[in-house]
Amino acid sequence: MGKYILALDQGTTSSRAILFDSEQNIVGISQKEFTQFYPREGWVEHDAMEIWSSQYAVMMEVIAQSGVSPEDVAAIGITNQRETTILWDRTTGRPIHNAIVWQCRRTAEIVDQLIADGLGDHIRSVTGLIPDAYFSGTKIKWILDHVEGAREKARRGEILFGTVDSWLLWKLTGGAVHATDVTNASRTMLFDIRRLDWDDTLLQALDIPRAMLPQVRSSSEIYGYADIQGIRVPIAGMAGDQQAALFGQTCFNPGDAKNTYGTGCFLLMNTGSTPCESKNGLLTTIAIGLDGGVQYALEGSVFVGGAVIQWLRDEMRFFTESRDAEYYAQKVPDNGGVYLVPAFTGLGAPYWDMYARGAIVGLTRGTRREHIIRAAQESIAYQVADLVRAMEADTGVPLTQLKADGGASRDRFLMQFQADILDRQVRRPMIRETTALGAAYLAGLATGVWKDREEITHLWACDTTYTPDMAPERRSALMEDWHRAVGRSRGWAGGSV
């Protein structure tokens, strides 16, 4: 049996491939950024063929660079940006429209209509989600509405829908397998998370033919085979990126929680075999499908996390490297009264305001670039703190610690400020690529590389623990002003709050 697991980590701004050995050491890593399209204000698209070509390129590159033979690769695991929607022609394998990205707000009016039609409570109770343009269902409808003849072809099964995992699986297997896993299905706003099947009421409301939907399977099994240099390698693990990170952080028990600091921020808490309905603006979602059952999670989603640092780098030209944000944030003793609310595409949990827009408040003549950079850094931590408070209110369980991962978790200023504003320890693991690691774990469990979750738990190791060191009065004042700033950003684009 092969000694290595190949994880394909298809993210919002880049495609990556990471090769792990059975001791979870990273043997090789390759990454390639791809194009972001913004056709109109609030719209975000990707070229699905570029997603595929970039992912295939880094997969082959990491094999070549590492010198590992494809025969020694036990399995491939896939993890992906969730909710992003791709429709393609079954015969040609070509997308019929650019992928509509999870951040895209173009379907807000479709969501408003669903609510007006009285389907808001049905969506919450069946899918565990809050009606929002974030999810895939309304994106599918939009493409079917705007591409001539697409809906008729979809009814005949000639047009296929997939989230990015389905698209990659279909391409890797040469069109042999059209499937998704329960975690990705639970993000479409079309899936009954208790019955574990597509919901006909929502399919009918959005006029989405069932024939175009992928088969829903567990997160850890052999779905099909990819050809790597003539060797058939099983594709054996699949999960949306945040659920994969939860698994990679070994949050296997109810109450375990992690936050991923990526383009967005995603806080997930394992709630076990029973879904926990949120009263505080969080999502109920499927954490993992494994061993014939599913575990559920509560999730809070921040749309713009690390992306606010990219914005300062690329659009504002405040610095040339994202890592420089940490340096500049520490050049001033505090934020100078400046708060940046990065609601560039609306606000996620716990506000769910599709019409909020970004705001910088508290500017004075003495405000410097460093104050704005620090305010951007702090905005990430404030948004996560809002999620933690909501999660504690829903579960009645105080969080004892937060496991942190993702690119921005490298930022020591941000991690310390997060511990300070939460008044909780923040623990960062030795392996920070926990999203890819989760996909590798799932693939390895299905192919016998690891025996069970207990064996995996022993592999997790802590790199750094950040301990809170902020006066309670200071913490309270900062959060109060943050909430005042959020209030200024809400409803800006003309919708009702």
**Any binding-site annotation on 12?**
yes
Please spell the DSSP secondary structure of 30-57, one letter per residue.
Answer: EEEE---B-SSTT--EE-HHHHHHHHHH
Task: Give the separation between CA 15 and CA 171, rounded to whole angstroms.
Answer: 15
429 phi, psi to nearest 5 deg: -80, 165
> Side chain identity at 441, as an amino acid letter?
Y
Task: Give the separation between CA 442 and CA 290, rounded to whole angstroms.
Answer: 9
**Any binding-site annotation on 310?**
yes
Task: Give the separation between CA 243 and CA 384, rounded to whole angstroms.
Answer: 17
Residues 6+ apart with CB under 8 A from 493: 42, 346, 354, 355, 356, 357
Please spell the DSSP secondary structure of 139-171, one letter per residue.
Answer: HHHHHHHHSTTHHHHHHTT-EEEE-HHHHHHHH
Whose tokens are 């204000």? That residue is: 41
**Any binding-site annotation on 14?**
yes
**Any binding-site annotation on 221?**
no
Q: To which H or E segment does residue 246 belong?
A: helix 241-248
Shortest CA distance to 27 belongs to which of 60, 71, 68, 59?
68
Q: Is the CA virtual torsion 122, 124, 126, 132 positive or negative?
A: positive
131 phi, psi to nearest 5 deg: -55, 120
**Any binding-site annotation on 83?**
yes
Task: Give the separation between CA 32 and CA 464, rounded to whole angstroms.
Answer: 28
322 phi, psi to nearest 5 deg: -55, -35
**Any binding-site annotation on 306?**
yes
**Any binding-site annotation on 13?**
yes
**Any binding-site annotation on 219?**
no
**Any binding-site annotation on 301?**
no
State the binding site: 12-14, 16, 82-83, 134, 241-242, 263, 306, 310, 407
State the binding site for ATP: 12-14, 263, 306, 310, 407
State the binding site for sn-glycerol 3-phosphate: 12, 82-83, 134, 241
State the binding site for ADP: 12, 16, 263, 306, 407
State the binding site for glycerol: 82-83, 134, 241-242
